[in-house]
């Protein structure tokens, strides 16, 4: 399991993000405040507060590959 903070600033960012995470066979959650949604759900993502950083939690063994692909969204 690995957690990072991400930022999705536009509709295109959300589309690109979902395209990346759906290619991975692991559970990936996004949390904003007390709300947690499936990261593979566009509708779920748009229900979050996208103006604030979002916590991504990946539950799987191959999280390093996922994090490399999501690098442009990760807040450093």
Structural domain boundaries enclosing 43: 2-73
Outline where DSSP puts E strands in 1-76: 2-6, 27-32, 35-38, 54-59
| % of the chain beyond a pLDDT of 90 | 95
For the stretch 45-63, pLDDT in tens is 999 999 999 999 999 988 9
Domains of the chain: total: 1
Q: Which of 45, 50, 54, 48 is nearest to 75 (CA)?
A: 54
What pLDDT is recorded for position 14?
97
Q: Please compute, for residue 74, the number of CA atoms within 13 A of its CA located in the half-sphere on the CB side.
A: 13
What pLDDT is recorded for position 74?
98
Neighbours of 54 (CB within 10 A): 23
Residue 19: which CATH number? 3.30.1340.10
pLDDT over 90 at 22, yes or no: yes
């Amino acid at each position: 399991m690995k957690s990072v903070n991400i930022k999705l600033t536009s509709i295109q960012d959300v589309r690109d993000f979902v395209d990346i995470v759906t290619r991975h066979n692991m559970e990936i959650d996004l949390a904003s405040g007390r709300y947690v949604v499936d990261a593979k759900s566009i509708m779920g993502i748009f229900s979050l507060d996208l103006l604030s950083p979002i916590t991504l939690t990946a539950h799987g063994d191959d999280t390093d590959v996922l994090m490399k692909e999501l690098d442009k969204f990760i807040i450093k």
